[in-house]
Amino acid sequence: MYSIKELKSNCQSTLCFHNFSCLTGILVTLIGCASAPQIQAKPTITEYPTLERPVVGCAADERPFDCDRRAILALQGEFQVTFNFYETVILKPGYTRKGPKHSGAFEKVVLIEDSGKKLSFQHLLVNSSGEEIKHWRQDWVYESLKNWSYVGDQRFEQQTKTPEEIAGTWTQLVYEVSDAPRYTGTGKWNHKYGVSTWTSDRTWRPLPRREYTTRDDYQLINAENRHTITPQGWTLEQDNTKVIRTSDQKDTVLVREFGFNEYRRISGYDFSAAMDYWQATAPFWAEVRTHWSDELAKGSTVLAFPTGDNQLIDGLFKLAEDYKQQPDLRTHQSKLDALFKRFVKTESKTSK
């Protein structure tokens, strides 16, 4: 089993472990860092006890909105997570399926905002040595008339919809470990048969680390997500189509992929390091989120660095560590502003 210190010595980017790219010894092997030796750690075999809870769906006398919120709130908790991806249907002549990819983690999902029609959850990882890693974030917004959407080439556009289009829907917005935008999806919760499931529309998303660190034969994923609340926790099913986009913006479909992520609620695992880190850095990350919100609201937002470049991530996590030592936002504001000025560009335009 590798410690975070050992993994850092094998990574050319000194803080790339914060992006989960170099984190091993959590549950199953991971893919490794870009431009660094691939590390295959022995899987941790400990299975922690499952905490089951009844799934309730939506009673006849309940408002669908209230049932939706109850389902979304069930995403929080302490989980042993498995990530599994399988290429399925070949769509381009001459293509050969790549092998499946499996990884895993121990994650604590924390509710960091609940304003009624918006809920936000921060995912935090803790490895078997008790070291914490801030992971991804997901927001859920009810009947969102306007939000950003990924369009390719590190660009995010503001999209607007009519009240009729978004009636009764929830939009999920997914963010990177740096709180940079990643992808969105909009759909309705379905509570039939006492089971709560949300299915998104199809949207674009950039390549995940498991892909861009190991291949360069496609540029985009067109995907549909399905979240289901289960007695053991919750699941995320992904229907992914991998797409080649050329410089003239022509798209060629390559292969379909099925992703199955299972968040199994557990007891007995020590997540205290995650909460210690979050309590020490939450105000800093709130300021980071504000910066992103301000940038995304301007119109078209471009990440001014290639996919896989960790300079922004490194800079933000370094500032988070500095904030832990000196918890005064004013002390670090100029460096935070400089990072955004360097790596985030905006154009004032919107699209429908």
Q: What is the pTM of this model?
A: 0.88
Per the listing, tokens 């995907």 go with 223
CA distance 338 to 342: 6
131, 138, 137, 177: which is closest to 19 by C-alpha?
Answer: 177
Has residue 350 got a pLDDT over 50? no
Range scoring the smallest mean pLDDT among 19-33, 65-79, 265-279, 326-340:
19-33
d(CA 273, CA 132): 6
pLDDT for residue 25: 38
Instruction: Give the chain's mean pLDDT.
Output: 89
List the chain domain ranges: 4-347
What does the CA dihedral 312, 313, 314, 317 come to, rounded to 10 degrees? 120
pLDDT in tens, 83-138: 999 999 999 999 999 999 999 999 999 999 999 999 999 999 999 888 999 999 99
Residue 290 has what pLDDT? 98
Q: pLDDT band for position 349 (50/70/90)? A: low
Using the predicted structure, report yes or no on whether residue 305 has a pLDDT greater than 60. Answer: yes
The 10s digit of each residue's pLDDT in 41-63 is 444 457 899 999 999 999 999 99
Overall average pLDDT of the 149-169 stretch = 97
Mean pLDDT across 262-274: 97
Q: For the chain, how big is the Rg over CA atoms in Å?
A: 20
Give me the pLDDT at residue 46, please. 76
Residue 197 has pLDDT above 90, yes or no: yes
CA-wise closest residue to 13 among 31, 41, 34: 34
Query: What pLDDT is stored for residue 14 in this prediction?
Result: 32
Q: Quick one: pLDDT band at residue 247, thresholds 50, 70, 90?
A: confident
